[in-house]
Amino acid sequence: MAARMTDGGNIPGTGYHDRNATSSDEWNLQNVLPNTGKPWYKQRHLVLLNLGMIIPYLSSTTNGYDGSMLNGLQSMSQWQHFFGSPTGTRLGSLSNGVIFGQILAFPIAPWLCDHTGRRFPIFLGSSLLVIGAVLQCAAQNYAMFLISRMVIGFGGLIAVEASPMLVSELAYPLHRPVLVGYYNNLWYLGALLAAWVTYATYFMGLHTSWAWRIPSLLQGFFPLVQVLFVYLLPESPRYLVQQDRHEEAREVLTKYHAGGDEHSPLVDFEMQEIILQIQTAKAASKTGYREFLSTGGNMHRLFIIVAVPCMMQLSGNGLISYYLHLILNSIGFTSDPQQLRINGGLMVFNLVVSVILASLMELAGRRRLFLSSTIGMLICYVIWTVLSAVNEQRHFKDSSLGTGVVVMIFIYQICYNAGLNGPPWVYVTEVLPTHLRAKGTNIMQIASTCVLIFNGYANPVAMDAIGWRYYVVYCCVLAIEIGIVYFGFPETKGHSLEEVALLFDGDEAFGDRLTKSLV
């Protein structure tokens, strides 16, 4: 039970007044937003804050570069010859090399986020990514290439866990959903660059290993930018409050949310919400990860943070992300340059579509996007499966069927981007309270890793063994996902990070304080 208000409603030990002692009409986000009469892009403090989000975004960009680069390398004769044309589990191990590194980082990443803040893990993880990229470029054999990918996975997980948390906890309240939505969309920027870099270096010559070494080295560029500039960003105010550094947190909010106005009602509102939620959470907090099993609300959160990453990776997109080469082979598109152009064109398409959809995300809401996305993907996969089956029966002589599959892949990506690219990180950071956010993000990464291991080994083996018939599995999975979203995902649109707790915990979200002013 959180401590009761004393001294006329003051929050003990903070110097802040309990806003629930004030009229609910007076205390709500819309009433405390500053009315400057200017759009955000004409307010220097908001421009600087939003531009600064590019630094944590680059963690997602590096992730996207990795997936697309491996797709491109598989379509390069130079890489295939150097590593002996790996297939099946041997190829799956290269894809899963990053996953093996992530597994080693799981115990470390949440501890770093909880005890060192959000910026240091980004710095540390990005430094390791630079080292991994150099090793990958210098690889002399299969084993060295695999080890370099493990280093990339280890550093990448540390940076990826902290990055969306920093964006979510630092963003201006009205901009948070779109800014967090952009985080995962920047995956496609890295994927796009990797696709066209591998296409360009392919023409360096059939007998030069630099055709694949250059793309491998460039994987370290974005992490290097993060290493150099991450400390130009302020620390998360929610982390600072969690560490009882209230004045530092207020300085961050005053500078970046209120443009230096020390008497801003918005800053007062945010500080009081953050302090109230964190104090209540600390008072009720159990031991470590077991807290996810302590209440019905936390178990519901646990269900969501496991379901969301499984949907992100197990909706058939894993085939496109890492094994587009095998898909294109299965429909008769076997030319190296042709595959590289399709891969590059798909990434350009994805980047444009995902940014547009993320900009509109706040209009539709999270649950509606999840539903429309899963339904659309199921329809695409059914058509894709039928076209692939007929194409095989006709011995790949009808090129229009192969073209139809490629078209369905592009339409599928629209549906995927609508619900499973931008919204997941927004949704997960919203449903998790501050004191559980690092641990919850870690659980999300563990769930994602388990599915990625499955994708890494099962997908290439199954595609080699049964071809298009494997798509039926994903049709069934997508049908199950529709039911999960419909029955298990509440709508969080229109609530602050602290207010979302009411959807899961009810009146217990803020202890024994009144909650009517939040709704």
- What is the per-residue DSSP string for 21-83? GS-TTTSSHHHHS---SS-GGG-HHHHHHHHHTHHHHHHHHHHHHHHHHHHHHHT-HHHHHHT
Q: Is the pTM of this model over 0.75?
A: no
pLDDT tens per residue, range 258-276 = 999 999 999 999 999 889 8
CB atoms within 10 A of CB 450: 17
CB 509 within 8 A of CB 1: no
What pLDDT was estimated at residue 511?
54
Is residue 425 in some structural domain? yes
Q: What residues are paired with 6 via a beta bridge?
A: 10
What pLDDT was estimated at residue 215?
95
Distance of CA 55 to the CA centre of its chain: 14
Is residue 272 in some structural domain? no
Is residue 36 in some structural domain? no
Pick from 234, 230, 233: nearest CA to 130: 230
Number of structural domains (the chain) is: 1
Is residue 515 in some structural domain? no
Q: Give whole-number Cα distances, 107 to 101, 113, 282, 377, in Å.
A: 12, 11, 22, 34
What pLDDT was estimated at residue 503?
85
- Domain, as residue range, for 355: 44-237+289-504
Strands (E), 122-251: none
Report how far residue 160's alpha carbon sits from residue 511's, in angstroms, rounded to the nearest whole number: 32
Spans of the chain, pLDDT less than 70: 1-27, 281-287, 321-323, 497-498, 507-519
Residue 10 backbone dihedrals phi, psi, to 5 degrees: -75, 145
What pLDDT was estimated at residue 345?
87
Token output for 280 = 């209540």
CB 246 within 8 A of CB 271: yes
Is residue 199 in some structural domain? yes
Is residue 243 in some structural domain? no
Is residue 2 in some structural domain? no
Is residue 433 in some structural domain? yes
Burial class (CB in 10 A: 0-12, 13-18, 19+), 427: buried
DSSP state, residue 295: S
What pLDDT was estimated at residue 512?
47
Token output for 117 = 């803040």
Pick from 367, 430, 375, 412: nearest CA to 179: 430
Which CATH number does the domain housing residue 212 bear? 1.20.1250.20
Residue 6 backbone dihedrals phi, psi, to 5 degrees: -130, 175
Three-state SS across 296-365? Answer: HHHHHHHHHHHHHHHHHHCCCHHHHHHHHHHHHHHCCCCCHHHHHHHHHHHHHHHHHHHHHHHHCHHHHC
Q: What residues are paired with 11 via a beta bridge?
A: 16
